[in-house]
Amino acid sequence: MTASTLANTKPTFYKSRVDLALDQRQTVVEVLTQTLATTLDLKTQVKQAHWNVKGMDFFQLHELFDEMATELEEYVDMVAERVTALGAIAYGTARIAADNSLLPEYDLEAVNGAEHVTALADRYATYAQHVRESIDKTDAAGDADTADLYTEISRTVDKRLWFLEAHLTQRSDLL
């Protein structure tokens, strides 16, 4: 199976003793597969910022971006392992992630801290929205465990979005 066909293909499942019906597992795995692609893409975009940030805030942002990438790597593992725990195959190559991510391509011209922080804040906002929607979708499918996994991810993603926005916020941004 190629990455370009993944979006139009139902996940492949093995026999499993997990007590969720196959249709429930299919619904949940489709959501998780989208998350896996998007999380992998977000992690690589954060590393792009980590490697290339320049300016007065270099060290602070370089360290922050590295911490963020490490967290995302943990989420990649959590999501992929949840897919396989539900009896499906986790599709997690870079090509699949690129073809199926919800995120736009990273601005490769970004140089200074503000440009990288803005780009990442935009992407974290999109990711946070996806994660929150996934809580509802997986809960509605009857999989409280996956909904809980998404809730755990959501808390940290919102915290990281707050950190990014704090770098960009000025007095004029008050509501």
pLDDT digits (tens, 9 = 90+) for 120-132: 999 999 999 999 9
Q: Is the distance from CB of 154 to CB of 131 less than 8 angstroms?
A: yes
48's CB contacts (< 8 A; 6+ apart) are 106, 108
Rounded Cα distance, 57 and 55, in Å? 6
CATH superfamily placement of domain 19-167? Ferritin, core subunit, four-helix bundle (1.20.1260.10)
Mean pLDDT of the chain: 92
Instruction: Please state the rounded mean pLDDT for residues 50-71.
Output: 96
Assess contact for 38 and 125: CB atoms under 8 A.
Answer: no
DSSP state at residue 173:
G
Break the chain into its structural domains and give their ranges. 19-167
Question: What distance, in Å, lies between the first and last C-alpha atoms of the chain?
Answer: 49
